[in-house]
Structure 1
Amino acid sequence: MISDRLFRVKARILGAAVVAVALVAMVPSAKAQPYPSRSITILVGYSAGGQADALARTIGKQLGENLKTSIVIENKTGANGMIAAQAAARAEPDGYTILMVTDAMVTIDPHLATSNHFDLSTAMEPVVNVAWSPLLLAAANNLPANSVAELVALGKQKTQNLSFGTSGSSTPHRLAGEMLQKYGGFTMTHIPYKGTAASVNDLLGGQIPLLFGAPTAVEPLAAAGKIKLLGVTSEKRYALLPNVPAISETFAGFKIISYIGFMLPKTTPTPVITTLNKEVNAVLATDTMRAWLDKQGMVAVGGTPDDFKRQIGIDYQARGELVRALGITTE
């Protein structure tokens, strides 16, 4: 009889345990919460009001509406964007901290001797390439050259010292100038500035004869007849400036563009990356966003994370070779 009672007690305990397990299984896990379930922060390594910041805020607004959450833009300036990059790399890999990256941050800075060898391509996961922009080769009106070919011929004559301004030493603008010299077989002196605006002022003032700059910085001046445009650095002519020849029309294979995209910390779950990629692509596909990008001199890119990873890989290798050959360091 004792054994029967013991058996019934054990059965009741076992039954209660089974029920408890079933009830626990019915309670949603905190880890199973849908993404996103709270606000998302986009870290921008550049000052408020700049192109990267404006792009982050414009996309962030629509992205937040689509995801039904708030998007917070946080500017962490310094070290060519690397302060923000390192902060993002240390964040939880849960999709709630997104880094806005420029091509310089992922394809130039990792090669610099003074960059502490921080490589975003190993610390972060690509999400999507948001937009790209070509650079324009602008010249003072009194420069006796009206095309890339004429500029090269002028450089080879060595009758005057040629120099070109850029927004800084470790920038795509600098690499474009160095590539042009390499392709053309002539030399110019590089003049680095702290931003494109300062170089444009010196071009207008006659202190420098040439510069590489973003379309928004130089095209209005060219339209007003204050400077002239010799070429564009994109592989083909830029759709918004069809009358400006691509430098590749003179030197086949010449191409260097600037782009801005999103990355997440390494080990971020694939479903989170997929969700963000899908939603950013949806924003980029809207007429409103494309019209806004046009005004910024940029072109929507989109695509998959692998597309972005492939672009970074190609430029990482090519630009790394240039950085090492030229001994480029940070300013």
Structure 2
Amino acid sequence: MTSGKLVRGKARALGVVVLVAMALVATVLGAKAQPYPSRSLTILVGYSAGGQADALARIIGKQLGENLKVSVVIENKTGANGMIAAQAAARSEPDGYTILLVTDAMVAIDPHLATSNHFDLSKAMEPVVNVMWSPLLLAAANNVPANSVAELVALGKQKTQNLSFGSPGSSTPHRLAGEMLQKYGGFTMTHIPYKGTSVAVNDLLGGQIPLLFGAPTAVEPLAMAGKIKVLGVTSEKRFPLLPDVPAISETFPEFKVISYTGFMLPKNTPKAVIATLNKEINQILATESMRTWLDKQRMVALGGTPDDFRRQIEVDYQARGELIRALGITAE
């Protein structure tokens, strides 16, 4: 091959390399230039369809999809107190297209009680927004000879019957409330963990358990129908949406257990994406229709910044860890 042909061959090869490089750059720039979101979003829910967490994810997901003009898919990945969904979300691409619905149990209780499947969600995910908070209700079967927290404590101290309480799982605020009550009251109860509140409520109605801590939506309608009775609410003071229900703190001033739910994204998700979702969800929470729906569910809208949610998680992680250790609560 002559030197001229060699030079021309090298020039053509170099030109091909340059064109390929330019095409790659254009592809990357084009991908970066796409607005968020440009395709469907998925909200992972670690609890079964039809439950309170699932209902919240669906109503917010529907409005979020309408506002952003994309479809929003709700995917239920149940198991391990929501941690199956959490681990799946943490492994997803940090691009904002996989959103995790989280509860306080997942970020502030489970890390202290987890066994071999230890997974600290707050280290693997970024807070987006805290959506709502709600108290729990202490409910009793009608045949339990106690109509108040004080009478229940007296009954427990008499030891005339074995008391037990149901909850939707071991790593839940419901269980924490029961452990706190017996510690403050100076009596003992057996914890019966269920796979969801509805199963526990059925056993309460059927007489298999005498007590349970449950969400207001699961307990209040049955109490109003006279099928069970409510002894107290776990909020710091009487819950404004249930003003006739005494707060357990009226008997034990330090008693307070609330449940909250929010959204998180995988670590290293761009701040602009987090800011977009935070803004959109805050706007949804501010609408009258959303507030009305939350009221019916006995939930209180929160909202705020990602840093607000981060601080809430940090404070609760510390406080609940201290409480779990002080009460000697272990994984079941």
- TM-score band, normalised by the shorter chain? 0.7 to 0.9
Contact 2:234 2:248 (8 Å CA) reproduced: yes
**Structure 2 match to 1:269:** 270
Q: Distance in 1 between matches of 2:129 and 2:201?
A: 31
**Structure 1 match to 2:331:** 329
**Structure 1 match to 2:72:** 71
> Which residue identity lines up with residue 188 of structure 1 in the other structure?
M
Q: How does 1:166-245 map to 2 (within 5 A)?
A: 166-245=167-246
Q: Which moved more, 1:192-201 or 1:248-257?
A: 192-201
Q: Distance in 2 between matches of 1:87 and 1:195?
A: 21
Q: Distance in 2 between matches of 1:307 and 1:115?
A: 31
Cα displacement string for residues 220-278 of structure 1 (whole angstroms, at most 9, x for unaligned residues):
11101121111001112122211001111221131111221100111112121111111
In the TM superposition, what is the alpha-carbon distance from 1:30 to its structure 2 partner? 2.9
SS in structure 1 at match of 2:123:
helix
CA shift in 2, pair 1:157/1:117, >3 Å: same
After superposition, the CA RMSD in angstroms is 2.1
> Which residue identity lines up with residue 329 of structure 1 in the other structure?
A
Cα displacement string for residues 255-305 of structure 1 (whole angstroms, at most 9, x for unaligned residues):
111221100111112121111111101001111112222222322211111
Cα displacement string for residues 134-190 of structure 1 (whole angstroms, at most 9, x for unaligned residues):
110011223222211222222223333222121222221111000111222222222
In the TM superposition, what is the alpha-carbon distance from 1:59 to its structure 2 partner? 0.5
**Structure 2 match to 1:57:** 58
SS in structure 2 at match of 1:133:
strand
Contact 1:170 1:328 (8 Å CA) reproduced: no
> How many corresponding residue pairs?
307
Q: Which moved more, 1:118-127 or 1:48-57?
A: 48-57
Cα displacement string for residues 38-74 of structure 1 (whole angstroms, at most 9, x for unaligned residues):
2221111222222222211110111111122221222
Contact 2:129 2:306 (8 Å CA) reproduced: yes
> Which residue identity lines up with residue 91 of structure 2 in the other structure?
R
SS in structure 1 at match of 2:308:
helix
Contact 2:81 2:169 (8 Å CA) reproduced: no
**Structure 1 match to 2:7:** none
Cα displacement string for residues 1-45 of structure 1 (whole angstroms, at most 9, x for unaligned residues):
xxxxxxxxxxxxxxxxxxxx9xx99x9653233222222211112
TM-score, length-scaled by structure 2:
0.86
Contact 2:137 2:234 (8 Å CA) reproduced: yes
**Structure 2 match to 1:311:** 312
In the TM superposition, what is the alpha-carbon distance from 1:115 to its structure 2 partner? 5.0
> Which residue identity lines up with residue 244 of structure 1 in the other structure?
V
Structure 2: unaligned runs, 5 residues or longer? 1-21
Say yes or no: does 1:94 pair with 2:95: yes
Q: How does 1:13-28 map to 2 (within 5 A)?
A: none
In the TM superposition, what is the alpha-carbon distance from 1:314 to its structure 2 partner? 2.1
SS in structure 2 at match of 1:292:
helix
Identical-pair percentage? 84
> Which residue identity lines up with residue 237 of structure 1 in the other structure?
R
Q: Which moved more, 1:241-250 or 1:186-195?
A: 186-195
SS in structure 2 at match of 1:111:
helix
SS in structure 1 at match of 2:166:
strand
Q: Distance in 1 between matches of 2:72 and 2:66?
A: 9
Contact 1:127 1:262 (8 Å CA) reproduced: yes
Q: How does 1:272-287 map to 2 (within 5 A)?
A: 272-287=273-288
Q: Distance in 1 between matches of 2:116 and 2:288?
A: 39
SS in structure 1 at match of 2:58:
helix
> Which residue identity lines up with residue 132 of structure 1 in the other structure?
W
TM-score, length-scaled by structure 1:
0.86
